[in-house]
């Protein structure tokens, strides 16, 4: 009975991973070997029976403008043991560009990196939609910005920069009330909180 349950759980996990297009990978730093699951091979459009990835070829799949970033993240991970989570574009073996998300965890022994392992996900559709939305929002002539559930800026257009005298690079990922403390104790915050809670429009 236990074996059947484990088989079912394994099958369910495989199907869920396939639907979400999430694969697993591992880099044996000591042995200098890399393992890709079938889904990771699928995302790279490589044949798992004939293609054996190594560090060089794995990095070469990243689009040129992302390679140095990915290599720097990986080297820092090996040196410091800091996990990572990033988004980048790969160019598959069939020359198709694809947005992916890579997450890496580290196994350290006596301060030395032994292996790095994690997940590799196809986020191309959602990322392209996000970029299209950003392009549309960027063309809006009025000041526009967006925050997430933790009140951190996720979008800040040019007109918002002009109005609030802040560059997008200065605010993205930062808490709105910490960046603009003068607004924290005003009716603006109460209206924002009510809108977030009720999902209904508010008027300033």
Q: What is the pLDDT of residues 90-110, one digit of tens each?
A: 999 999 999 999 999 999 999
Q: What's this model's pTM, rounded to 2 decimal places?
A: 0.67
Per-residue pLDDT tens for 151-167?
999 889 888 999 999 99
Look up tokens 């808490």; give the residue.
Answer: 175
Does the pLDDT value for residue 9 go beyond 80?
Answer: no
Strands (E), 92-191: 97-109, 112-122, 145-147, 153-156
What is the C-alpha separation between 59 and 38, in angstroms, rounded? 18
What is the C-alpha separation between 29 and 6, in angstroms, rounded? 30
Count other C-beta atoms under 10 Å from residue 65's C-beta. 9
pLDDT band at 14 (very low <50, low <70, confident <90, very high): low
By the 10 Å C-beta count (0-12 exposed, 13-18 middle, 19+ buried), 27 is classed as buried
Residue 118: per-residue pLDDT: 96
Give the CATH fold of the 140-198 domain: Beta-Lactamase (3.30.450)
- Listed by start position, the domains of the chain span 2-123, 140-198
Does the pLDDT value for residue 1 go beyond 80?
Answer: no
Residue 20: per-residue pLDDT: 61
What is the 8-class DSSP label of residue 185? T
Give the CATH fold of the 2-123 domain: Beta-Lactamase (3.30.450)
Measured on CA atoms in the order 55, 19, 129, 171, is the torsion positive or negative? Answer: negative
Candidates 22, 53, 51, 54; CA nearest to 39 is 22
Domains 2-123 and 140-198 equal at CATH topology level: yes
């Amino acid at each position: 009975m236990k074996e059947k349950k484990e088989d079912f759980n394994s099958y369910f996990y495989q199907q869920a991973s396939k639907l979400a297009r999430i694969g697993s990978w591992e880099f044996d730093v000591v042995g200098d070997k890399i393992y890709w699951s079938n889904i990771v091979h699928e995302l790279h459009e490589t044949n798992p029976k004939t293609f054996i990835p190594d560090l060089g070829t794995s990095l070469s799949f990243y689009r040129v403008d992302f390679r140095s970033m990915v290599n720097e993240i990986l080297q820092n991970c090996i040196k410091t043991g800091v996990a990572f989570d990033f988004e980048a574009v790969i160019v598959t073996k069939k020359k198709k560009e694809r947005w992916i998300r890579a997450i890496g965890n580290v196994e350290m022994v006596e301060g030395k990196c032994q292996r790095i392992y994690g997940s590799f996900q196809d986020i191309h559709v959602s990322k392209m939609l996000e970029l299209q939305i950003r392009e549309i929002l960027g063309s809006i002539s009025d000041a526009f910005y967006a925050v997430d559930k933790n009140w951190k800026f996720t979008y800040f257009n040019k007109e918002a920069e002009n109005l609030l005298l802040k560059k997008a690079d200065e605010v993205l990922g930062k808490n709105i009330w910490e960046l603009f403390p003068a607004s924290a104790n005003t009716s603006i915050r109460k209206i924002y909180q009510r809108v977030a809670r009720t999902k209904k429009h508010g008027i300033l």
